[in-house]
């Protein structure tokens, strides 16, 4: 609708401004904005012809195909609601999420046809199955649907406060919840991104998103670059994250900005072939999902001397970023997640919703137009999360005199040992400064004397060896003794979510017995 902030109309606007410019690349697929908008309109009109209409929830299941982004814009153009699904789940998890979301249709790639066939009998509410690729009996062909539909903009009334997405949280702290995001939320997320103090964001930007596009941060970053008229490259993830392939893309497409999680940056920097590629086009490197350790930042500055760095902090409920640490402060404030984004109002509260003094630890709470509408079908959880009129993140932080925010820990991850509150993130910062440690996670485990004790789980750099005693002594020399780990386990890999976050609940299940 004219004048609205709706998701699909943003694409239509950009397509009118830059019709012949390549806007999206994924593997061998490459579309101009005019072509991409045409296909999204065809999908929207095709869905309407199937009898789907405004307010219907439509699930998507892809690893990495252009059709995933077409689904995002096509579904929202016909006023449907997109429900992106993580491609790494188990069959029962898909049944639970699709059922909870009340999905009326599923758009998926052929790779998942055996899965869809297996769970279909458990999904009586799903009316339409739309397959990208070779379809089976009882499914719709995605391409046939597009070819039989009009390329004209669908005539559907959409308002800013209509629902655009239901995105399920990663579930690192419990059962995934459906985060309801409006068209306005999506627009404001783009505003927060494009207002960042960097000079490479614009219509000349060539952006590479490394994490999967079902994740809210990748999806919103892609939308933000599209909003500017830049070119988006979606990374193929069918063979996992391939650092050599990524470096080749940066060289060949002259990528100016890239988004990745720390484990991906570590993999890129550790690629034996990195020096053979021309990476001079890269001007902005963005990190999210976890705080980037200082040694990693320093190594990146050596390999990419002309690159500005940004650390993003946020959550799905905030669509998705809330704070950002810009390049000039990356070394000066290495343990910080930066300052709030332009539209985000933060407070740091105690358990009674009172502001804590500067420097003290409290829960960071948020207000502003990027805050989610609600948790889907969970009014009680929504009410609890919005106590006092602000969204309660569950993150414990402190703020310094300059306004920089430091994450101390998740409220639920806090360890209480002998009556003392211990924040794992504080211990992890110390561990990551150890020259032999590449990654670290800290959890609380049962202790008959202290209630809980601190356990460190660490991954060493490939050419390093050390002992449990050395790590414990190092921590005791750099942090209060009661905060230092009482035990250390060494791993070659951490269990991580699709967004690169360490799944601490799995560590607790393994070590907390």
pLDDT in tens, 396-441: 899 999 999 998 877 778 787 866 778 788 789 889 999 999 999 9
Rounded Cα gap, residues 196 and 342, in angstroms: 8
pLDDT at 498: 65
pLDDT at 509: 85
pLDDT at 236: 85
CATH number of domain containing 430 = 3.30.300.30
How many independent structural domains does the chain possess? 2
> Token pair of 211, please?
């994490």
Mean pLDDT of 162-168: 97
In a domain, 356, yes or no: no
In a domain, 487, yes or no: yes
Instruction: Give which of 6, 445, 328, 321 is closest to 183, Cα–Cα.
Output: 6
In a domain, 179, yes or no: yes
**Cβ–Cβ under 8 Å, residues 218 and 241:** no
> Token pair of 394, please?
């569950």
What does the DSSP 8-state code read for residue 78?
T
| Residues of the domain holding 433 | 420-511
Rounded Cα gap, residues 4 and 257, in angstroms: 29
Contacts of 119 (CB under 8 A, 6+ apart): 91, 94, 95, 98
In a domain, 255, yes or no: no
pLDDT at 174: 47
**Cβ–Cβ under 8 Å, residues 230 and 263:** no
- Residues 189-206 have pLDDT tens digits of 999 998 887 766 789 999
Rounded Cα gap, residues 344 and 314, in angstroms: 11
- Residues 431-459 have pLDDT tens digits of 999 999 999 999 999 887 777 899 999 99
**Cβ–Cβ under 8 Å, residues 146 and 130:** no
pLDDT at 172: 42
In a domain, 204, yes or no: no
**Cβ–Cβ under 8 Å, residues 4 and 158:** yes
For the chain, give the percent of residues with pLDDT over 70.
96
pLDDT at 371: 98
Name the strand (E) or helix (H) holding 143: helix 142-147
CATH number of domain containing 58 = 3.40.50.12780
The last residue of a domain, from among 149, 183, 217: 183
Centre a 10 Å sphere on the Cβ of residue 429 and count the other Cβ atoms it contains: 22
Centre a 10 Å sphere on the Cβ of residue 111 and count the other Cβ atoms it contains: 16
Using CB atoms within 10 A of its CB, is residue 3 exposed (0-12), middle (13-18) or buried (19+)?
A: exposed
Radius of gyration of the chain, Cα coordinates, nearest whole angstrom: 23
**Cβ–Cβ under 8 Å, residues 500 and 262:** yes
- The dihedral over CA atoms of 401, 406, 411, 417, expressed in degrees to the nearest 10, equals -90
In a domain, 358, yes or no: no
Cα angle vertex 332, ends 331, 338, to 5°? Answer: 90
What stretches of 337-450 adopt beta strand conformation (E)? 339-340, 345-349, 362-367, 374-375, 391-399, 405-410, 415-417, 420-422, 437-447
**Cβ–Cβ under 8 Å, residues 60 and 269:** no
In a domain, 131, yes or no: yes
Rounded Cα gap, residues 498 and 129, in angstroms: 25
Rounded Cα gap, residues 325 and 308, in angstroms: 11
In a domain, 217, yes or no: no
> Token pair of 49, please?
């012809």
3 pLDDT band, cuts 50/70/90, is low
The last residue of a domain, from among 183, 199, 215: 183
The last residue of a domain, from among 183, 202, 224: 183
pLDDT at 175: 62
């Amino acid at each position: 609708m004219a004048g609205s902030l709706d998701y699909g109309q943003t694409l239509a606007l950009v397509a009118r401004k830059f019709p012949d410019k390549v806007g999206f690349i994924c593997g061998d697929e490459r579309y101009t904005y005019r072509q991409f908008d045409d296909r999204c309109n065809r999908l929207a009109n095709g869905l309407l012809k199937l009898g789907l209409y405004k307010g219907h929830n439509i699930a998507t299941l892809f690893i990495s195909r252009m059709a995933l982004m077409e689904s995002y814009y096509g579904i929202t153009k016909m006023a449907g609601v997109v429900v992106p699904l993580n491609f790494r789940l188990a069959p029962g998890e898909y049944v639970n999420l699709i059922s909870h979301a009340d999905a009326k249709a599923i758009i998926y790639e052929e790779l998942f046809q055996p899965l869809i066939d297996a769970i279909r009998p458990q999904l009586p509410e799903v009316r339409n199955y739309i397959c990208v690729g070779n379809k089976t009996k009882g499914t719709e062909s995605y391409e046939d649907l597009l070819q039989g539909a009009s390329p004209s903009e669908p005539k559907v009334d959409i308002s800013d406060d209509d629902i655009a997405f239901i995105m399920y949280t990663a579930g690192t702290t419990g059962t995934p919840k459906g985060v309801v995001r409006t068209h306005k939320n999506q627009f404001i997320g783009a505003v927060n991104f494009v207002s960042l103090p960097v000079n490479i964001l614009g219509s000349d930007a060539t952006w590479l998103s490394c994490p999967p596009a079902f994740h809210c941060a990748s999806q919103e970053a892609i939308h933000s670059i599209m909003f500017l008229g830049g070119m988006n490259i979606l990374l193929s993830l069918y063979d996992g994250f391939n650092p050599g392939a990524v470096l080749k893309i940066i060289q060949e497409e002259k990528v100016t900005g890239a988004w990745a999680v720390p484990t991906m940056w570590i993999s890129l920097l550790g690629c034996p072939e990195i020096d053979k590629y021309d990476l001079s086009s890269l001007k902005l490197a963005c990190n999210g999902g976890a705080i980037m350790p200082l040694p990693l930042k320093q190594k990146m500055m050596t390999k990419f001397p002309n690159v500005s760095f940004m650390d993003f902090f946020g959550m799905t409920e905030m669509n998705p970023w809330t704070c950002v640490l810009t390049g000039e402060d990356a070394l000066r404030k290495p343990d910080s997640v930066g300052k709030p984004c332009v539209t985000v109002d933060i407070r740091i509260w105690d358990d009674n919703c009172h502001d804590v003094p500067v420097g003290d630890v409290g829960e960071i709470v948020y207000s502003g137009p990027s805050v989610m509408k609600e948790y889907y079908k969970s009014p009680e959880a929504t009410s609890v999360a919005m106590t006092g009129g602000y969204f309660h993140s569950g993150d414990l932080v402190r703020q310094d005199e300059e306004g920089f925010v430091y994450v101390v820990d998740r409220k639920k991850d806090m360890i209480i040992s002998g009556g003392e509150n211990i924040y794992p993130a504080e211990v992890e910062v110390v561990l990551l400064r150890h020259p032999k440690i590449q990654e670290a996670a800290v959890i609380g485990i049962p202790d008959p004397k202290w209630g809980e004790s601190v356990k460190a789980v660490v991954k060493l750099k490939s050419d390093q060896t050390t002992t449990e005693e050395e790590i414990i002594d190092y921590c005791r020399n750099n942090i209060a003794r009661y905060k230092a780990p009482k035990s250390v386990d060494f791993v070659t890999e951490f269990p991580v979510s699709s967004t690169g976050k360490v799944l601490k609940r799995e560590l607790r299940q393994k070590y907390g017995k």
